[in-house]
Amino acid sequence: MSLRLWRLVRRGASAKYTRVSIVGALAALLAVGALVPLNSAGAAPASQAPGCPPAGSATALTGAGATFPAPIYTRWFDGYAQSCGVQVNYQAIGSGGGIRQHTERTVDFGASDAILTAEQFAAASGTIMIPTVAGAVALVANIEGITAGQLQASGDTIAKIYLGEITRWNDPRLQAENPSMSLSDRAITPVRRSDGSGTTNIFTTYLSKISPDWQSRVGASTSVEWPAGVGGEGNAGVAGQVRQIPGSIGYVELAYAKQNNLPWLAIRNQANNYIQPTLDSTTVAMDGIDLPDNMQVMLVDSPNPQAYPIAGFTWVLVYQNQADRAKAQTLVSLLRWSLTDAQSMAAALDYAQLSPSAQQKALALVNGITASGQPLP
């Protein structure tokens, strides 16, 4: 407000004169851009902030799927709501549920740690898979006295545990991999997912590459016929079961292992090095991988000598051609922000940022999204 207008109001000029003067002054100020609407924090509206959707876009999105990336998605979506005023309601129900809801078009995006099968792509024609981060699947155990990374195991040994062939911790095959330790005679209880799970897909894809027995008897999928063990729903459910059952072993995304203070195993990689699941060992798992333009590729059993062998991308599932332009604009803006500015948040939660080449290909997929066949801003 101009100083002259403020003085007119303070002097108590007539209501008519004051009203006319205020309206005229505001119009003049707006015409020269002197007034910009501000939000409660004194910032420009969300639509004007970098990374936020343009005016006329939707202010809410719904998504569902993988529990694997839930910690980073929660952080991202909270940050996006604060910066842009867009509410993202994400339900971590597992990759299987996310694929199903995406196929049924009951959400604006799905999320999966598993590449869709040919049948799933056919049922959800037009789907593209956009990687957001990479993460490690940690093998965690409830064994008194061990610390993170102290216990070592090969993929073949892990396969035999989940096949029900190695049933006690002091089995000679485990003892041979841990010669400096005196292992307990306690029974092993394998814990696995009870729901359709992309984390399971990463884990069983790894076991299938390492163990011919596993490949022929069980195979790889988001849901398999487990020969042994007890189930838990979601990464949190598996972590909870391992915490409660002495002698148990389970597989969870690294963030869940840390949140639950569960010690993880060092797993033997392709170079015969025992590697712990860390941010660095997950990041190098992307090295040397031929990334296709559609970004549908697994990262397990990396040839890099320093790579943790049970790592993978997690993907957002969207339709390349969107029906609702307002929602499409918000979705595309959110995804671009997630793949650029928001990547810096990943490390604090033990997820690996996309490599530059992976980021470039992911952004190309996002930029190809249309609404009713028309390009988006």
202 and 87 in one domain?
no
The residue segments making up the domain with residue 347 are 48-135+312-375
Q: CATH number, domain at 160?
A: 3.40.190.10
290 and 327 in one domain?
no
327 and 277 in one domain?
no
Of 47-61, 81-95, 104-118, minimum mean pLDDT range? 47-61
218 and 337 in one domain?
no
113, pLDDT greater than 70: yes
Q: Which of 321, 326, 335 is nearest to 105 (CA)?
A: 321
340 and 255 in one domain?
no
230 and 84 in one domain?
no
Q: Which of 275, 317, 320, 325 is nearest to 300 (CA)?
A: 275
Per-residue pLDDT averaged across 244-249, rounded?
Answer: 98
Give tens-digit pLDDT for 288-345: 789 999 999 999 999 999 999 999 999 999 999 999 999 999 999 999 999 999 999 9
158 and 117 in one domain?
no
Distance in angstroms (rounded) separating the CA atoms of residues 2 and 7: 9
175 and 279 in one domain?
yes
Does any domain span residue 268? yes
Distance in angstroms (rounded) separating the CA atoms of residues 308 and 34: 56
- Average pLDDT score over the chain: 89
156 and 128 in one domain?
no
Does any domain span residue 43? no
Of 20-24, 78-82, 337-341, minimum mean pLDDT range? 20-24
Burial profile 254-285: b = 16 or more Cβ within 10 angstroms, e = fewer: bbbbbbbebbbbbbbbbeebbbbbbbebbbbb
Does any domain span residue 58? yes
Considering its fold, how many domains does the chain have in total? 3
Does any domain span residue 217? yes
